[in-house]
Copies of this chain bind each other. A is one copy, B any other.
């Protein structure tokens, strides 16, 4: 525990278990850091539903989230897809504003929206079913396989997705229930993944490995954000204002992570555990200096470290991270079942997300303790600008 940092750093740099593996988690790059500010928890607070973009992306992340993937029932038609989207539009417009859904059987559970957002996306298959194959974004497909993957089909893919977020889990539970049962004749639930995040004041939240996670991110309201997250309609005019979601379920092998001491952990990630500052800095918001070396000539931030590998090599390799921790009931024989719901939003999966994922899959010191067990890619529909319109309307009627 008391080994000097340089010794540990050499051990890490010299290979061995700490660098032998190959999963991207808490992808931290550098420069122009910004982060979501911790918001007060007001159970009556609402997030606007209507607008050029769906809520739940530029929205500061609430404490709780559920990601729900659904599959169209066999024989589903274009009309069925439109039907689902119309129902969800109406439900989401009401629930997010603190009102009950139409025919809500538990209207009292809708009274405390606590910043509820509902964000809707489509998987690849829907475009064929709905006869709009030519409008499918080129990047909308499962990610290519990576050697680090240990994917379980139960956590992969899906025809439709709902991201439901709120500060109170009761609001999430009620919205998920309403949204799923209202379309139960047309779709089946494929998987549900629930998560939480609790940020310290003025800091990014911590993952269950204890690391400050999500430091480097792109800030809503900036030109970077608008350019990197929102589709501009150049390739697919119907998609203007939409984006994409990559959801990776990343299991943490906490039992072996416990075997590595604090210095080793910090060198693995490239940040201090205490504040999340890069090893070359003193504050979480400091930019990492990947060129800095110590008196032995050894890089202060190991080139094998997570933040060094995750660092974007061009401005285009950036995306919005909006992840949640998960902590499910352990499978028999295990002590815990924890990890990260790594949610990434970007205009173009191929151009922005894949290069970083490939680089991390190829090598990232953190890969020893992180295992991707789920993976899914969805196109996130543009927002509903006008009450009465429905999610996806530009895809079908534009």
Contact = CB atoms under 8 A, between A and B. Distances in A.
Report whether over half of chain A's contact residues are helix, strand or loop; otherwise say mixed: mixed
Nearest to A106: B210
B198 A325 contact: no
Contact of A177 (B64, B111, B338): B338
A176 B336 contact: yes
A168 B255 CA distance: 23
A108 B112 CA distance: 31
B106 A335 contact: no
A335 B191 CA distance: 10
A61 interface: no
A274 B111 CA distance: 11
Contacts of A258: 105, 181
Contact of A194 (B106, B112, B193, B327): B327
Contact of A198 (B168, B189, B194): B168
Interface in A159-211: 168-174, 176-177, 180-181, 184, 188-189, 191-194, 196-198, 200, 205-206, 208-210
Given A108-B274, A173-B208, A200-B111, A194 B338 contact: no
A335 B187 CA distance: 10
B184 A169 contact: no
A42 to B, nearest CB: 11
A169 B334 contact: no
A206 B169 contact: no
Given A169-B198, A170-B198, A198-B169, A335 B210 contact: no
A385 interface: no
B180 A210 contact: no
A64 B205 CA distance: 18
A338 B208 contact: no
B189 A170 contact: no
A352 B254 CA distance: 42
CB-CB nearest 8 A-B residue pairs: A106-B210, A173-B327, A169-B196, A170-B198, A192-B329, A168-B198, A180-B335, A105-B258
Given A105-B210, A170-B206, A189-B335, 8 more contacts: A108-B210, A168-B198, A169-B198, A169-B325, A172-B327, A177-B335, A181-B255, A191-B329
19 contacts: A64-B169, A105-B210, A105-B257, A106-B210, A108-B206, A108-B210, A108-B273, A108-B274, A169-B325, A170-B208, A173-B327, A173-B338, A180-B336, A181-B254, A181-B255, A181-B335, A181-B336, A189-B330, A194-B327
